[in-house]
Amino acid sequence: MKVLKRAQFGDPILRKTAKKLSVDEIKSVRIQKLIEDMRFTLLEKKLGIGLAAPQVGKSLALAVIAIRPTELRAKIKPFDLVLINPEITEYKGKTKEMWEGCISAGSKGTADLFAKVPRYEEVKVTYYDEKGTKHSKTFKDLKAQVIQHEVDHLGGILFVDLVKDTKTYMTYKEYLKVIPNELNP
């Protein structure tokens, strides 16, 4: 396993629509290795909670999610998901302004830029897993937010494209000051 180099904002691959994969491609050694390396990159470097293939230089409709408890999210249960050819088929509830960053908006592989992005609290997604099995599931809260962020990446959309209130932009250092107060009012 290896830590993959991340594409940064400005890299044209982040603006392309990613190529869908066939079930045979999903099961190939090449794609299985890519999934393994993407998961390793997230978990080993603790860089974020989601990573889309375009962020590691591959224009493929593939994303890996690895949510882990942190100091700021101490009560979160670990969650892992591989999304291949994902399509959000239903948005439920209202949109809510949620803090987001992106590891492609950082100089050292971590997110240096954060802002509030409107996201639906619940989404229904159709996708293939790493074994090539098709699923249709509903996800809520942080899981739904991360899925929306990663699906956007696969369509060439960055979180900065969706920010409504540009006054919410802030650096990671300032985000660390603000977010604990919002999580624990």
Catalytic residues: 150
Angle at 172 between CA 169 and CA 174, to 5 degrees: 70
Q: Per residue in 143-162, is it b (16+ CB within 10 Å) or e — as a string?
A: bbbbbbbbbbbbebbbbeeb
Query: What are the residues whose beta carbons fall under 8 Å from the beta carbon of 67, sequence distance 6 or more?
Result: 49, 73, 76, 78, 79, 80, 142, 143, 146
Question: CA–CA separation, 54 vs 106, rounded Å?
Answer: 15
DSSP per position, 21-47? --HHHHTSHHHHHHHHHHHHHHHHHT-
